[in-house]
Amino acid sequence: MPEADEEDDSGEEMPLSMRLSIADTLTLGNATCGFMAVYFTTTGILIPHLTGSDESGMARHSAATAVILMLCAAVFDLFDGLVARKLRSSPMGAELDNLSDLISFGLAPAYFVLVYGMVADDAHQRVAALGAVVVLLAVVLRLARFSCVTLKDGMFQGMPSPFGALTVVSIVLLELPFVATLLAIVGTAWLMVSRVEYPKPRGPLAVAMLSWIVAAMGLLAAWAFEAPGGQLLLQTGCALQLVLGAVIPLFATARRVNNFRDNRREARAAQLP
């Protein structure tokens, strides 16, 4: 009997709170992609600029790689939620998700904006740094609010942080004048903390989002390798990303208005004798 007790003690299972589920592993992949995006932005864009290197091709490849890694982080973020709903998530799944999102969709795009302010010819470094801080704080506030506020099923309040991060990066890649770029970035940050409703990516919408991410990766690859028309294709994709960010909440608003009208009609019909 004592020997049996010793075997039970030695074979004690890991506490449930310390186990990682499949969804948690995908979430960690999200964080890894965000960190590597910062790495490529630093080594391929910032350091060559500070050392006076004129390797524009390297900067182009590194910028494309950094953005593709953010897109991969968005894919991990999309699938960890789906897997968690289908299978299970560990007790620390929600915390892991928020921390990973902060790295991939807060730090990485904000750092991208900061580096843009340092390397672009018409940019102002300190003003760009302020814009980067605005992006980072918007994501921090959005993630904190998401953890505390209970919303109706199927909707987000404010632009989701992955969509916001990709929109911010798209604004930078469009190479607009500095003032227009900064205003668009601040506007995107405002949308992330606003009360504007965005639908959650489920069902056909999740498939459409995944298809758009794959298409965006293709556009970035064509731009990085200087394929014919690659610059135009990339700018078209970035512009479409901005249009989607502005148009998607209009559908949610229109649906809410229609539901309100339907409820009023039903209330009036119920009052009739």
For Cα atoms 4, 7, 10, give the angle at the middle one, nearest 5 degrees. 150
Least confident of 1-10, 54-63, 180-189: 1-10
pLDDT in tens, 97-150: 899 999 999 999 999 999 999 998 888 999 999 999 999 999 999 999 887 776
For residue 199, which phi and psi values (nearest 5 degrees)? Answer: -70, 145
Residue 33 has pLDDT above 80, yes or no: yes
Q: Which residue has the higher pLDDT, 201 or 114?
A: 114
Residue 6 has pLDDT above 50, yes or no: no
Residue 89 has pLDDT above 90, yes or no: no
Confidence band for 51, pLDDT divided at 50, 70 and 90? confident
Q: What is the pLDDT of residue 7?
A: 45
- Other C-beta atoms closer than 10 Å to the C-beta of 259 total 10
Who contacts 115 (Cβ-Cβ below 8 Å, separation ≥6)? 41, 42, 45, 46
C-alpha span between 107 and 35 (Å, rounded) = 9
pLDDT above 90 covers what percent of the chain? 49
pLDDT in tens, 204-233: 888 888 899 999 999 999 999 888 888 999
Question: What distance lies between CA 27 and its chain's CA centroid?
Answer: 13
pLDDT in tens, 163-179: 999 999 999 999 999 99
Please give the structure tokens belonging to residue 197.
Answer: 């409703």
Confidence band for 19, pLDDT divided at 50, 70 and 90? low
Please tell me what DSSP assigns to residue 175: T
Q: Domain 20-259, CATH 1.10.510 — does that match?
A: no
Residue 8 has pLDDT above 60, yes or no: no
Instruction: Answer for the pair 116, 172: CB distance below 8 angstroms, yes or no.
Output: yes
Q: What is the pLDDT of residue 202?
A: 79
Question: What distance lies between CA 125 and its chain's CA centroid?
Answer: 24
Residue 2 has pLDDT above 70, yes or no: no
Q: What is the pLDDT of residue 52?
A: 81
Q: How many residues are there in the chain?
A: 273
Domain ranges of the chain: 20-259
Residue 32 has pLDDT above 50, yes or no: yes
C-alpha span between 92 and 74 (Å, rounded) = 20
Query: Which of 110, 112, 92, 87 has its CA nearest to residue 27?
Result: 92
Confidence band for 24, pLDDT divided at 50, 70 and 90? confident
C-alpha span between 159 and 156 (Å, rounded) = 7
DSSP codes of every residue in 93-118: HHHHHHHHHHIIIIIHHHHHHHHHHH
